Every structure is written in C-alpha cells, then in structure tokens.
Structure 1
Amino acid sequence: MRNTVLFILSLSLSSSAIAKNIYVSVNGNDKNSGESEKSALESLQKAADIAKPGDVVLIGGGSYSNSNTQDNGAVLSVTTSGTPDAWIIFKALPDCKPTINPIGWAGIQISASYIKVEGISIIGQNDGLTLLDALADAKNSIPNPKYNTNGIIVEGRRVKEKPHHVIISNCEIGKCPGGGITILEADYVTVEDCEVYNNAWYMRYAGSGITTLNNWAFDDAPGYHIVIQRNYVWNNKTLVPWERTGKLSDGNGILLDVTDQKRGGATNPNADAVIEEIKSVIEPAKIKVSLRPEWKGRALIANNISAYNGGSGIHTFRTKHVDIINNTTYWNGQTVGYQELFPNNCEDITILNNIIVPRPNGKVTSDSKNTNIKWDYNVYPNKQEVFSGENDLMINPEFVKVDNDLRKADFRLKKGSKIINSGTNDIPVKTDLLNKKRSESKPDRGAFEQ
C-alpha cells in the first residue's frame, strides 16, 4: 500500500515538474519550441495544440488572426483539458495587450475543462460591416461567419464531455457581429472583470453580450456554479431578425437562458418562439441519445454595470437558483423594448441591492409565470407594482457621470445620496465592481461601494 501511495505521489510531482510556460509572439515562428520569448511560437493555435495540464501560454502584444472560416473554426480553439490541480492558462504577457481579430465563427472557442483565459482582447469586424449586407446574408440558407462571429464561446454542444471549470477574466470583447461571451452546455463557468460591448449587431441567431444557455450539470454540489461579476456590459444589440421568428430579439446585456427543462414556453420576453430541447449533442449513431441532466447549481450575477443594450440589462429565462445582487442597469431595451431587469418563467430568483434605471417610457421589471421570487432593497426612479420590496427606494440615483461608453462613464453615486449605506447583507457580496471591500453591516446598493 505504501509503495502505491509513493508511486501516485511521484506521478503527481512529475506532472507538476513538467508544467511549463509556452510563449507566443506575432514575430514568432511555429517551428520554434515556444519555450522562451526568443523562441516564441507565432500562432495561438499551435500553442493550444501542444499545451498540457499546468502549462501557461503567455501571449505577446499585437494582433492575432487566421483565415479559418470553416464550420466551428476559431483563431484559438481549446480542446485539451487541464486538471483540477493543473489548469491550462492563456494570458497576456505582463504589460502586453494581445488582440484577437477573428473573421470566422469565433475568436476563442473552449470545448475543454479547467481552462482560464485572462487579459486578452477580442475585437471583431463590425466596423467593416453594414446592416444592409447582414440583412441580405440572413436570407441565405448557409450563413456567412463574417456576420455571426462570436467573441468567446464555451462550446459544449459538439462534444461528449461537456466543458466545466472555465474562467474568463479581465478580457475585452467588442465589435463582434455575433455574441460577446456565449456559454453553451457547460458548468462551473466564471466571467469576471471584462468589458463586453458593441456585440451581436449583425448575427441571425439573437445573441447577447454575456449569455449562458442550457447549463449542463457537472455535479450537484452546493454553491455557485455560474458566476458573472464585475463586468462592464454595454451597447450589445441585435439589428438582424432572429432566423427562427423573423423578428428582432434579445441583444441583452446579461442573460441566463433555459436551465430548467420542466418549464416550457417561449424563448424570449416577446413570447414569439418556443425552444426545442436538445436531446443529443452529436450524431445519434455515434453517441447514445441522452437528455440533459437537471442543473441544480446556483448562479451569481453581481457587481455588473449593464447599460444601453438593445434588450434587457439583466434577465433570466426558464432558470432556477439565481442571485442577482448589487448590479446597476441603465437605459436598456434600446432595440426591442425589454424591461430593465427581470425574471421570466423562473423559480427561486433573488434580486437585491440593484439600481435599476429604465430608459424614458421603459419599464423596471416584469413578472410572467415566475415562482419564489425574492425582491427587495432595489432602487428605481419611477413607481412600479410588479414586484414590491418593503425596503425599495423610489428615487433618482444621481450618478456622477452618465455616458453611453462605459469607459467614459462614472456610475458611482454623488455625495449625499440616500442610497449610500442603505442596502442589505442578506446575501453578502464582499467587494464591489472595483474590488473595494463592502460594508459588512450597511452596504451600498448598485455596483459601487462609495
């Protein structure tokens, strides 16, 4: 027995010992070893192909792209998994800003587990596209990826082993004609400290800024499985009708979509399309058909600013077990008129400490087929009777500076605001959008702690 333990320990130490840094540079060469900055690889994909558990791929500044417009193609496709104690990490070199400029279906596609992506920009081709051309392409039976490029997609639909334990941190995702960050059939995913803007304009698939769809349970452990926190999300919208309905749809800031298979119904607030449950992920002849396992995890949406999006600022659809805490939403519903922040056909949703400011003539929230919604300590400027919390405040929050580019805005509260020190710690959120420590007794409402 002792020899077996020593053998296992030896294997573990050997695995850690061979973990290495892999360097990538726009001036590199894929014939190099990638073991130092001087011998850097040129392509991100080459680095992904050789990366093993525990490896860190360090990426130099500059622009990375490729000509891959094939189905499922991406500039960086991650298919090798790390392990619980040896994640594979893709990150920017210190003081460098690597930028992926995709022309195919995705900038980064992750179909693996124990993966972290940190400090990378993905900037799409919106500046060179026109709505007229996108509308024309939407009539074609075969879609052109040029109008549907996703920024980062965690893709579980095409693989037997669903991705789980993925972290997307401190990334910039902008101007992608498809979705910004899209998470499909995955579990244990964290999206934090990102800027997600100007995405989903030209796609035919009704995307959004940050979306989870069809969460696929890795396990039933308690605690948060999905975490979306400290993100700036703005001006994501759809301008091309959804191919299913021929109508504009979604373009939300943050959307948690369809974790509860038992709750039937439409796929969006307009109630104009019904989803078909996915029973198999690839060819039935190759893999036995199986229903998606029930997702019993919990999700946290906290400390985000979501503004000027075409759909809602934040909403959940056919979803259970979500805490929506200390977010600020502002003037959303710009294209399809959705409410600012709302659950739709959901169960066990807690909505606390949010500042919710609808656009002129817009609505704060809505309630359709929901059960067990806890709503309190929220702030909104106009009277609404959909959900009523004993400790709600109906006042103008008075932000320091409003701007439709969140990099220029300041959504902190002005001095003397009645909102300061007025929140609850029923579900404590320890820090704010800037990672500033929150009060343990009387936290502020909204994304910032003053």
Structure 2
Amino acid sequence: MKRTGRYVLSALLAGAALPLGVAGSPPAQAASRTYYVSTAGSDSNPGTSPSKPFRTLQKAADSTAPGDAVSIMNGTYTERAGGSDVLAISRSGRPGAPITFQAHPGHHPVINPLTGWNGIRVSGASYIVIRGLEIKGDSENISLAQAEQGASTRKPKYNTNCLSVDRGATSHHIDIIGNTVHHCPGGGISAIDADHVTIDHNHVYGNAWFSVFGQSGISILTAKDSDAGDGRTYKIRITANTVHDNETRVKWEHCQCYSDGNGIIIDTLKGHDYKGRVLVANNVSYDNGGSGIHSYKSQHVDIVHNTAYQNGRSTRMDPYANIYAQDSTDVRVLNNVTSGRPGQPTNSQHRDVDVTYDYNVYYGGRAPEVKGPHDIVADPRFVKPGTGAGADFRLGKGSPAIGTAEPFPAVTTDITGAGRAGGAPDRGAYAFIRNGTAPSAAPTMVGTDNGSPQNPLATPAPGQGARPSAGTSASPGNDVRATGDGESLARTGANVVVPLGMAAAALALGGGIIFLIRRKRS
C-alpha cells in the first residue's frame, strides 16, 4: 500500500493479557460516559442518552475523554462535505481507559463514505477501540472507465479508504475488532507509522479497486516503535480476519504500473528499523488480486496457521504468490495451507535473509522456490473450495494438514476460537472438526504486550501451559481494550508464551491474547 498525501489508509493497535496475580489488579478505570449518535439526533442535544443523541459521529468524537465510549445507533452516516472524513479520531484514551467507538447493542449502523478520503481516520490518536461497525464505500457505483478517466491523487472519490490510521504522529494501541469493511475504492484497513496495532476478526472485501495509491485489503506500512521494541515480543497482530476480492484495477501513480491489491501485507518495516514483532495468524485470504499474505522489505514477522486460496487473480501484473516473504529478514512462514492458481508462484526466496518456511501445505501453482523439511505438496482437501459465497476452507477428512503442524505456543485456537488439538495441531486457519465436534481447547499461553522479552516459538515444558480462562472466546464481542498494559483483551488464540518463571501462576489463572497486517513489489 502507498500514499504520498496526507490521507493515507491504515489501521492500528495492540494489547496484551496477563492473569491476575501475575501483573496485579488492573488499573482503576477513570469515570467515563457514553455518547450516543443517531441519524435522527441533533448535535445540539447533550448526546448522553439514547433519547437525546448527537446527529454526527464527529460531534461525539470531539466530546470524548479517556474511558468514554461512542455508541452508534441505526442509520447510514456519510461525510458532511466533499473531501472530508465521515469520522476523524484525534482525541486519545490512555492506558486502562481507551476511547471506544462501537455499534449500539442490537443496532447495525453503516458508515458510508462517498466523496471523502476516509470512512474512519485515526489521526495521531492512541488507545482507541473500533468495534462491530460496517464501513461501506461506493465502489459498486463506480465503473472502471470512470476511475481510469478520473484517476488523480487529488480526487478522494476514487481513493476513499474505509479505515485508515494516518501517517504522521505515531498512533499506538489501536484495536480494530469485528468490523465489516468493504467496497472502498482505496484501502480496506491500513495503519501507517503506527505501533501496537491489533486487527482481529474483521471481514474485509471488495476494496482497493480504483485507487492510484496501490492499496490492499489489510496493510501495515512503515511501522514505528512508540516504545522500546524487541524482536521476540509481538506488538502488531493481524488475526482471524477473512479477506477477499481486494484488487488494484487502476495504475499506481508512483510508477504508472499496477501493484498490490493484496489480501494482507506487512510493508517496509526494515527501512524504519521497526524492532517489535508482528504476528499474522488464523487468517483466511482468497481471490485477491495480489498476494494472499506476504511480508515485503520487513523484519520480525511470523506468518502462522493461515489459509490462502487462489490469490494472484489480477491479469494486469505479474502474479504474486499466496503466502510468502520477499526482501525480508527474520520471518517465519509456518503451518499454513495454500492452494494456488495454475502456473503461478507458490512462494519466494528473493533477497530473503533468515526466512524459514516449514510445516506448510502447498497445492497448485509452480513448485515452491524454497521448501522446508516438513513442507508438503498435496491437495489440502478443503470441504468446499471456491471463490463464491459458499466457499468452505475447513479441512475435510483425510487432509494432509490434519495433525501434522508444529505446535506454536502463540496460536492455540483457530479462526473460530476452537482449541487446537493437543500434540501435533492442524495446519491452516481451521482446526479439523473431529467426531462432529471441535477439538477441546488447548492450553492458552499467557503473555504481555509490554513485558519482558519472550520467545514466540518456545514450546513450554509439559505442565507449564496455562489453563484456558473461563469464558475464553474468539468472537468479535470480546471486551477488547486498547491498553497494552496487562488488562484482559480479546482472547482470540494468538498469545505470546509466558516466561517460565511465571508458569505456575499462569497455570492457575490463565488468559490469552491475539492480534495482526500487508504487501509486495517486484
């Protein structure tokens, strides 16, 4: 993804989970209030009750303080003037008291940018949660001919991003959870120059068609450390997202060539020497124009337990592989399942240093450029592979992906929240359903986003895994808080392993966390 102007598409956050007794009691929450917004409201209302809501999202956002929430009621929300954002978030929460933007219980609001640069833009703000919203762009009402004729870096109509964390001041601790993000001419979810970003359980599709900035479905570009970084500790997490039909159909203005349109890309982290680690896990990425998932010019990235199917669909550019790293350092590509298009590349070793491929299943496409000792070339036997609405990428009986993965302590559940079986887990985003039921929950590893250095690949000794916390779930309705300081966060299955000295406390009081994001250029 790229953007040279002020309005860059992005998305960000991060968080962590520690059991009580390990980190102590969570910090006390500041007194907070909820602001309500309705298309039937008025900005002259107090906005503090459902009966007297504000009319605009911006009025509510500009009224918030740390710990507050904005509860968005039914209606379609568009920008107030051409070129503006529907919602620009510039006020920050603080540790233990994020500012939350979410759908009102039982309601389904739609944020619908038509002529603005962004549906939602986070600009220099931190400790923000964006949860349970639909952001819908206008691509279905734009033709390719119109976009090619009107393509310009100055026209937001053809470049509108759904949800963007803006370039500039380093925004950090941003949770983007359980949203539906689709049909924006620009990017879907993107974070630029950000840190501590979590993008979890979102459905991202039909984006990036008409932008001249080379966008993608989910992208992390030029991340910057907002605090001390460590290549063994996750600070950015992209987890359990379903991403498809994102494609670049207009030339990127930088080179007058076609580029990107990826499902998920981690982009140019080496150039800024980003020191934190990135986890991309349990995602399903299919039928995108560029790659399914890849690391480009980046470092400290784990791409683990993902499923990618027939990406690289664009006929406008050289095909990208399904899941791979390019020009990257310290990357692990493990336990994934990919099914490629005939004749297209399967992975890459171009200018890579310390990049490990292993325990992956490859099918279709050309022979892998690099193949780990436990990689398999075989039909993964998906239940119902395809690119339509009825596609089902769960593993069918007899799949070579069943029970053949390497245990990865940071990923103990699958995309649905089902626990991965003990012993050798299943490869890909889905755990195999055995005897009509999902596997029992595997031990949930406990980690801290800001804790001492941890080895994400370390396998705990027998008996050192923490028991799952009561109520552990991967649903987008989790109480996700953008604090990063040890409070309970979304327990979605990807957790940094607890240091061994903390294992006894973890055994009695377990908890979990997860999180994740973009790109390639040849």
For the aligned pair, the TM-score class normalised by the smaller chain equals: 0.7 to 0.9
Task: State the alpha-carbon separation in 1 of the partners of residues 422 and 107 from structure 2.
Answer: 37
Match for residue 235 of structure 1 among 231, 245, 250 = 245
Q: Distance in 2 between matches of 1:429 and 1:64?
A: 37
Residue 351 (structure 2) pairs with residue 338 (structure 1): no
Q: Distance in 1 between matches of 2:394 and 2:350?
A: 32
What's the offset of the Cα at 1:109? 0.2
Q: Which of 325, 344, 347 matches 1:362?
A: 344
Of the structure 1 ranges 110-119 and 55-64, higher mean CA displacement relative to structure 2 is found in 55-64
| Pairing 1:122–2:135 present | yes
Q: Deviations over 1:371-410 (max 9, x none)?
A: 00111100012562422111111111111112324x5321
Aligned to 2:218: 210
- What corresponds to 2:424 in structure 1? 442
Question: 2:195 matched to which residue of 1?
Answer: 187
Q: Measure the CA separation in 1 of the matches of 2:107 and 2:342.
A: 41
Show the counterpart of 1:31.
44
Partner Cα distance (1:439, 1:178) in 2: 40
Contact map agreement 1:137 1:143 (CA 8 A) in 2 = no
SS of 1:46 mapped into structure 2: helix
Q: Helix, strand or coil for the counterpart of 1:349? A: strand
* 2:58 pairs with 1:74: no
Within the candidate set 394, 397, 416, 2:377 is matched to 394
**Larger RCO of the pair (alpha carbons < 8 Å, separation 6+):** 2
Matched, 1:220 2:245: no
> Quick one: which amino acid aligns to residue 309 of structure 2?
Y
Cα distance in 2 for residues equivalent to 1:315 and 1:57: 34
Alignment correspondent of 1:329 = 308
Counterpart of 1:225, as a letter, is: K
Kindly state the Cα deviation for residue 356 of structure 1 after the two structures are TM-superposed. 1.0
- Which of the residues 68, 79, 104 maps onto 1:93? 104
Q: Which amino acid aligns with 1:416?
A: G
- Give the equivalent residue in structure 2 for 1:21: 34
Q: Specify every segment of 5 or more residues in structure 2 that has no aligned partner in the other structure, as ranges.
A: 1-26, 433-522
Deviation, 1:216, is 1.1
Alignment match, 2:391: 409
SS at the partner of 2:30? helix
Matched to 2:290, the amino acid is G
Name the counterpart of 2:162.
151
Is residue 415–residue 430 contact of structure 2 (8 Å, CA) maintained in 1? yes
Letter in 2 for 1:207: Q
Give 1:440 shift: 3.5
Letter in 1 for 2:110: T
Q: Spell out, residue by residue over 1:105-128, the C-alpha distance to the aligned partner (whole angstroms, 9 max, x if none).
A: 000001210000000000100111
- The Cα of 1:427 is off from its aligned counterpart by 4.6
Q: Deviations over 1:257-277 (max 9, x none)?
A: 00111xxxxxxxxxxxxxxxx
8 Å contact 1:310–1:333 — kept in the other structure?
yes
* Paired residues of 1:355 and 1:446 also in contact (CA < 8 A): yes
Separation of aligned partners in 2, 1:388 and 1:136: 44
Letter in 2 for 1:331: Q
Distance (Å, rounded) in 2 between the aligned partners of 1:389 and 1:133: 46
Q: 2:117 aligns with which of 72, 92, 105?
A: 105
3-state DSSP of counterpart to 1:45: helix
Shift of 1:133: 1.1
Aligned residue among 302, 305, 308 for 2:287: 308
Q: Residue 339 of structure 1: SS of its match in structure 2?
A: coil
The answer on whether the counterparts of 1:220 and 1:295 sit within 8 Å (CA) in structure 2 is no
State the alpha-carbon separation in 2 of the partners of residues 148 and 378 from structure 1.
36
TM-score of the superposed pair, with normalisation by structure 2? 0.74
2:456 matched residue in structure 1: none
| Aligned match for 1:165, one of 164, 173, 190 | 173
User: Shift of residue 219 of structure 1?
Assistant: 1.5
Give the Cα separation in 2 of the matches to 1:76 and 1:55: 16
Root-mean-square deviation over aligned CA pairs: 1.5
Q: What secondary structure, in the 3-state scheme, does the structure 1 residue paired with 2:86 have? A: strand
Aligned partners of 2:134 and 2:410: how far apart in 1? 31
Question: Which stretch shows the higher mean deviation, 427-436 or 114-123?
Answer: 427-436
Provide closer, same or farther for how the CA distance between residues 225 and 428 of structure 1 changes in structure 2, counting only shifts above 3 A: closer
Relative distance call for 1:76 and 1:215 in structure 2 (3 A) is same
User: Which amino acid in the other structure matches residue 265 of structure 2?
Assistant: L
| Separation in structure 2 between the aligned mates of residue 441 and residue 61 of structure 1, nearest angstrom | 46
Name which of 259, 270, 275 aligns with 1:296. Answer: 275
Secondary structure in 2 matching 1:50: coil
Question: Which residue identity is paired with 2:331?
Answer: I
Question: Equivalent residue of 1:135, what SS?
Answer: helix
| Number of positions where the alignment pairs a residue of Structure 1 with one of Structure 2 | 398
SS at match of 2:377: coil
Following superposition, which runs of at least 4 residues in structure 1 exceed 2 angstroms of deviation?
67-70, 382-385
Task: Tell me the SS of whatever aligns to 2:164.
Answer: strand
CA contact (8 A) 2:229 2:274 kept: no
**Does residue 379 in structure 1 map to residue 358 in structure 2?**
no
| Structure 1 counterpart of 2:261, one-letter code | G
Which deviations, in whole Å up to 9, do the C-alpha atoms of 1:13-52 show, x marking residues without a partner? 7x712x1111111211111111110011111111100011
Q: What is the match of residue 407 of structure 2?
A: 425
State how far apart, in whole Å, the 2-side matches of 1:221 and 1:441 are: 32
Alpha-carbon separation, structure 1, partners of 2:349 and 2:397: 34
The gaps in structure 1 that reach 5 residues or longer are: 1-11, 262-291
Contact 2:381–2:398 (8 Å) recurs in 1: no
Letter in 2 for 1:422: T
Aligned to 1:247: 257
Q: Secondary structure at the match of 2:376?
A: coil
Q: TM-score, normalised by structure 1?
A: 0.86
Distance 2:302 2:309 in 1: 19
Asked if the contact 2:239–2:283 (Cα under 8 Å) also holds between the matched residues in 1, the reply is yes
